Amino acid sequence: DSGVTQTPKHLITATGQRVTLRCSPRSGDLSVYWYQQSLDQGLQFLIQYYNGEERAKGNILERFSAQQFPDLHSELNLSSLELGDSALYFCASSVGQGPSPLHFGNGTRLTVT
């Protein structure tokens, strides 16, 4: 058990809808990362937060947004969903300082129909 909790595990929704994915980082970790894994693709970096502030953005679409709250949990909001947004979304956390490893949640499987 990595200590990172992601909810929900599975999400099925229709095109055009909006969903929110949630992540609670491992206790003591200040940094949260969101990754997307589409079919036959590697882990695509979306966005990183450190102690409530956005630190880096990767290939995140404008329809997607995220935030990290004072209690350090994070939410990833996906709106105007398209079929191509179907993917496995991972949250990972780390201490955020120094060369510390990432601890991954079990992912949220999003299916857009």
Q: Which residues contact another protein by CB under 8 A?
A: 2, 4, 31, 33, 35, 41-43, 45, 48, 50, 55-56, 58-59, 90, 94, 96-97, 99-107
CB of residue 34 to another protein, shortest distance in Å: 12
What is the Cα–Cα distance from 88 to 35, expressed in whole angstroms?
Answer: 8
Q: How far is the CB of 106 from another protein (least distance, A)?
A: 5
In the complex, the smallest distance separating the C-beta of residue 54 from another protein, rounded to whole angstroms, is 12
Q: Can you count the helices (H) and strands (E) in the chain?
A: 0, 11
- Between CA 101 and CA 64 the distance in angstroms is 26
**C-beta closer to another protein: residue 5 or 79:** 5
Length of the chain: 113
Nearer to another protein, 34 or 81 (CB): 34
Other Cβ atoms closer than 10 A to 27 = 9
